[in-house]
Amino acid sequence: MKYGRKGRVSPRRLTAVIKKEFIHIFRDTRSLAMAFLMPVILLFIFGYGITLDIKSINMGVYDLDKTAESRGLVERFRASGYFDIVGTVESTKETDRLIDRNIAHMVLVVPEGFGGSVKRGEPVDIQAVYDGSDANTTSIAMGYTEAITSRYSQSKGAKDPSGQIDLRLRVWYNPELKSRWFIIPGLIAIIMGVISALLTSLTVSREWEQGTMEQLLSTPIHPVELFLGKITPYFLIGMIDVLISVAVGVWIFGVPLRGSFLFLLVVSSLFLVGGLSLGILISTAAKSQLVASQAAFVLTLLPAFMLSGFLYSIENMPVFIQKITYAVQSRYFVTILKDIFLKGNHPLVLIKEILFLCAFAAIVLTAAIKKFKKNMG
C-alpha cells in the first residue's frame, strides 16, 4: 500500500512526532524503566559482580619444619592480605581433604630442614599445592606465591641466580591494578550499546502491532520526519543515561576521569547514533516486538561482551575472529572510553577508533533510513 507524501520535511510535524514519542515513553512504565533504571541496575550488578581482583585466597599450611623460619614464611603469606589461612594440617591425607572439600584453594608445604637451609643460605624447595579447577584464581595465586617467597628469600640474604639485576616495576594509569578501573568504562560502553538498540528496536514494531502505524502513514507526514521523530527522544534519553553512568562510575566506583568530558560526550553521541539506528533497522525489519527485542539482544549484547575486548583480549583470539570484531561497534567505544577514563589522551591518539565509529554510525544510519523509507513508502 502506498501513502502520499506532501512537501518537504516540516519542523512542525517533526516536533509533533517527537512530542508524541515522549508522551508514549512517559506513559509506559516499561519504557521508562528500560530507559532510566536498567542502565543503572546493570552497571551496579556487573560493576560489583565482575571483578578480576583475587583477594582472600583460602590457604592451608603443612609445616614439617616447625621453626622460626618456617613460621616467618607463613606469616609473610598471612600479612600479604591476599591469603587467609584456614587451617594447619599434619599429614598429606589432611592436605588432600582441605582441597577436595573446597576448604582451601592451596596448601603450602614447608619441608623438614627448611630453617637450617635458610640459615646457611642454601637453596631449599617448598611446595604449594593448588586447586586447578579454577584456573584463573590458581594462576593469580601462583604469581602471589612466587612474589612472596622471592621477597622472603631476599630478606634472608639468599643469593639470586639471576645476578645483579635490580628490577623495579612501575605501573602507569592504574598503579594498584584495580580491575574495576578498566571494567567500569567497558561496562558503560556495553550497557549503552544494548540499551540504545533495545529502546528503538521496539518503537516501530510497537506501532505495527498496535495498528497505529497505518494512522500515521495516512497523514502528510514524511518518512524522514517519522524516522527522526522516533530516534530523537531516545537519543536525548541515551545522553542522559551516559551522564548517569559516568557519574556512577566516577562517584560510586571511584574510577578516575582523566580525559576531556566534552570529548566523551561527542564520541558517546556518535556511538548512540549507531546503536539507535541499528535498533530502528531491526524494528523496521521485524514488525514484531518479541522478534525485534530478541534480535536486538543477540546482535548487541553477545558481540559486545565477547568481541569488544571488554573482558577478553582481541589479540588472543583466532585471526578470523579478530577480523569479525572490526564489525562490532562496541570494540571502538570500549577502547575510547578506557582511554578517556584512565589515560586522558588527546583525541588525535584515538583517531582510528573515532573514524571507525563514524563509519559504523553512517553505514547503519543510511541502511536504517533506506529500510524505513521502503517500508513506509
CATH of 57-155, one of 1.20.1430.10, 2.102.10.10, 3.40.50.300, 3.40.1710.10: 3.40.1710.10
Q: Beta strand pairing status for 127-130 and 106-110?
A: antiparallel
d(CA 377, CA 366): 16
d(CA 329, CA 278): 11
Q: State the cell numbers at 72.
A: 616467618
d(CA 202, CA 129): 54
Q: Where are the beta strands (DSSP E) in the chain?
A: 57-63, 83-88, 106-110, 127-130
The 127-130 sheet, strands edge to edge: 83-88, 57-63, 106-110, 127-130
Q: What is the pLDDT of residue 166?
A: 46
Q: What is the pLDDT of residue 163?
A: 40
From the list 70, 152, 145, 79, the residue with the least C-alpha distance to 111 is 70
pLDDT digits (tens, 9 = 90+) for 318-353: 889 989 999 899 999 999 999 999 998 888 989 999
pLDDT digits (tens, 9 = 90+) for 60-84: 999 998 988 889 999 999 998 889 9
Q: What is the pLDDT of residue 168?
A: 55
Residues in the chain: 377
Collect the ranges in the chain with pLDDT lower than 70. Answer: 1-7, 9, 52-53, 157-171, 211, 213-214, 217-218, 287, 376-377
Q: What is the pLDDT of residue 359?
A: 94
Q: Where are the domains of the chain?
A: 11-51+178-376, 57-155
Q: Taking the model in full, what pTM does it have?
A: 0.78
